[in-house]
Amino acid sequence: DTGVSQDPRHKITKRGQNVTFRCDPISEHNRLYWYRQTLGQGPEFLTYFQNEAQLEKSRLLSDRFSAERPKGSFSTLEIQRTEQGDSAMYLCASTIARTAGTDTQYFGPGTRLTVL
Amino acid sequence: KQEVTQIPAALSVPEGENLVLNCSFTDSAIYNLQWFRQDPGKGLTSLLLIQSSQREQTSGRLNASLDKSSGRSTLYIAASQPGDSATYLCAVDNQAGTALIFGKGTTLSVSS
């Protein structure tokens, strides 16, 4: 257990439905990241927050995806009008940004999304 | 665009063998390189982080090296055990020093 939690762990939905995932980072961590991982691939970056500010979004994050981190604590990732291609493991990670560059990122267990 | 490649994609060894996993990256302008372990259906566990100014890091039976100029890193596992069976992922931070860019991983199977 890294201290990063994600909810739910599994989600099955029908195409066209909206889904929302939650991530609770380690409490003192100011940076929070979202990644997506499909079978046989490494995780791919989606977006990240420094406190409550969303600082970078990948081109993978289409307009159907939105992420928030109110008050710089937990974060939510919402996917609207889900498509079968959205089926993947969604991973959250957090870290303390102490120096330029990236410090060790601690990953949660992930939310596995299946779109039927 | 930074690309990370891991070779081999899969590896099977008998218990007790020493082994080396390879990682290469195309852009040497990185800040850090990390090795992670991922068990099936689970999240990632950080194993070792090597800062760009360092050449290697060690933790128990694991030793990771970094040759930034040639764009290569290796993860050495000594005296492998069945519990080491997992997928090992290599990741570097991108030029902006924000998100991690991952390879596809090497799936290791250690038989008893």
pLDDT tens digits along A52-74: 999 889 988 889 999 999 988 99
Q: What pLDDT score does A99 carry?
A: 60
Cα-based distances in Å from B104 to A66, A91, B98: 26, 15, 19
Q: Beginning with the edge strand found earlier in the chain, give each strand of the sheet holding A75-79 in spatial order.
A: A5-7, A19-24, A75-79, A65-68
Say if residue A98's pLDDT is above 50.
yes
**Contacts of A39 by beta carbon, 8 Å cutoff, 6+ apart:** none
More confident residue, A47 or A99: A47
pLDDT reported for residue B97? 47
**pLDDT per residue as tens digits for the range B55-99:** 999 999 999 999 999 999 999 999 999 999 999 999 998 754 478
Mean of pLDDT over chain A? 92
How far apart are alpha carbons B40 and B30 in whole angstroms? 29
Structure tokens at A110: 């992930």
* φ, ψ for residue A16, nearest 5 deg: 100, -15
Residue among B43, B100, B102 minimizing CB distance to A109: B43
User: What is the spatial order of strands in the sheet that B72-77 belongs to?
Assistant: B4-7, B19-25, B72-77, B62-67, B56-59
The verdict on whether omega for the bond into residue B14 sits within 30 degrees of 0, i.e. cis, is no
Q: How far is CA B86 from CA A34, A47, A51, B31, B72, in A?
A: 22, 27, 33, 26, 21
Give me the residue from B43, B51, B98 closest to A107, CB to CB. Answer: B43
Across B12-32, average pLDDT: 94
| pLDDT score of B107 more than 80 | yes
Which among A100, A19, A4, A27 has a CA at the least distance from the CA of B95? A100
Provide the pLDDT for residue A67.
96
Residues of chain A positioned with their CB less than 8 A from the CB of B99: 33, 35, 45, 48, 56, 58, 102
Amino acid B96: pLDDT: 47
Q: Is the pLDDT of residue B112 over 50?
A: yes
pLDDT (mean) for A95-109: 77
The tokens of A87 are what?
A: 């089926």
A11: distance to nearest CA of chain B, Å? 14
- What is the predicted pLDDT for the residue at B111? 96
